[in-house]
């Protein structure tokens, strides 16, 4: 029963997430509460199906694989936007990166530990179904606001992240990669201040 509640909760979470314009809002609070509930349910389900949150045997190997992948993507970003490299020296870059270290980790916990592992369990270990559904779910979180133009890329990224997680585990490296990729993407490809937008205070959504 718990695995199905987790999937339903994950789908419900999409509604306020795609609607909200700032996390300091009613929708932001709803997102936080649903997220906490989903993590609680996932922890409750550990006896039913274990997690690959941390795999000691492959911890550093995962870091190497994710590190190489991340450096390649960031290098591509810099080549494509070499005229905006100076932005990487701005205080905004470091501020956004700091916030994203926390936010990126939380997102990967949701995408891999909560959603992917639950789908993998429900589908009785069907790798293709699990990877595809996980990729669609990951991509769906990037349909709102400014990031929707990168939906194809995030769809592929969700597939790759889940594949790495399935093989080697260790959510820490995926969270770190998410933080770095997200920060470089917003600083180099967007002219607005994403950090100010996400953390602005509004009374409505």
Residue predicted with more confidence, 185 or 200:
185
| Whether pLDDT at 203 is above 80 | no
Instruction: Report whether 141 contacts 150 (CB < 8 A).
Output: no
DSSP for the chain, please give it: -HHHHHHHHHHHHHHHHHH-S-SBSHHHHHHHHHHHHHHHHHHHTTTTS---S--GGGHHHHHHHHHHHHHHHHHHHHHHTGGGGGGGGSHHHHHHHHHHHHHHHHHHIIIIIIIIHHHHHHTTS-HHHHHHHHHHHHHHTTSSGGGGGGHHHHHHHHHHHHHHHHHH--HHHHHHHHHHHHHHHHHHH-SS-HHHHHT-B-S--
Do the domain assignments include residue 56? yes
Query: Which residues, including other chains, have CB under 8 Å from residue 141's CB and lie 6 or more apart?
Result: 14, 17, 18, 107, 111, 154
| Whether pLDDT at 2 is above 90 | yes
Angle at alpha carbon of residue 37, lines to 2 and 178, rounded to 5°: 105
> How far is Cα 112 from Cα 130, in angstroms, rounded to an integer?
10
Do the domain assignments include residue 203? no
Q: What average pLDDT does range 77-100 have in this prediction?
A: 92
Do the domain assignments include residue 36? yes
Do the domain assignments include residue 14? yes
Do the domain assignments include residue 204? no
Domain that holds residue 51: 2-198
Summarize pLDDT for 139-183 with one digit per residue, the tens.
998 886 566 777 888 999 999 999 999 999 999 999 999 999 999
| The pLDDT of residue 57 | 97
End-to-end CA distance of the chain: 33
CA distances from 3 to 36, 40, 49, 119, 195 (A): 15, 12, 9, 8, 34
Q: Scanning the structure block, which residue is given the tokens 């002219």?
A: 191
Instruction: Report whether 144 contacts 18 (CB < 8 A).
Output: yes
Structurally, how many domains does the chain consist of? 1
> How far is Cα 203 from Cα 205, in angstroms, rounded to an integer?
7
Please, which pLDDT band fits residue 117 given cuts at 50, 70 and 90?
very high
Do the domain assignments include residue 37? yes
Nearest residue to 27 via CA among 145, 134, 139:
145
Please, which pLDDT band fits residue 200 given cuts at 50, 70 and 90?
low
Lowest-pLDDT choice from 31-45, 54-68, 95-109? 95-109
pTM reported for the whole predicted model: 0.92
Instruction: Report whether 16 contacts 34 (CB < 8 A).
Output: yes
What is the average pLDDT score of the chain?
91
Do the domain assignments include residue 153? yes
Do the domain assignments include residue 205? no
């Amino acid at each position: 029963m718990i695995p199905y509640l987790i999937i339903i909760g994950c789908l419900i979470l999409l509604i306020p997430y795609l609607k909200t314009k700032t996390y300091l809002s009613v929708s932001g609070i709803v997102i936080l509460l649903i997220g906490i509930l989903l993590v609680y349910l996932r922890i409750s389900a550990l006896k039913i199906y274990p997690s690959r949150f941390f795999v000691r045997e492959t911890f550093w190997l995962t870091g190497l694989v994710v590190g190489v992948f991340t450096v390649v993507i960031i290098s591509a970003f810099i080549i494509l936007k070499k005229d905006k490299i100076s932005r990487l020296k701005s205080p905004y870059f470091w501020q956004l990166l700091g916030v994203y270290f926390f936010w990126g980790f939380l997102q990967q916990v949701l995408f891999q530990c909560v959603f992917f592992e639950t789908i993998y369990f429900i589908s009785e270990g069907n790798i293709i179904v699990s990877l595809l559904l996980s990729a669609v779910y990951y991509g769906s979180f990037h349909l709102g606001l400014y990031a929707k133009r990168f939906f194809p890329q995030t769809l592929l990224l969700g597939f790759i992240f889940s594949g790495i997680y399935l093989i080697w585990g260790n959510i820490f490296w995926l969270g770190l990669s998410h933080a770095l990729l997200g920060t470089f993407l917003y600083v180099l490809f967007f002219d607005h201040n994403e950090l100010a937008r996400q953390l602005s205070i509004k009374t409505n959504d």
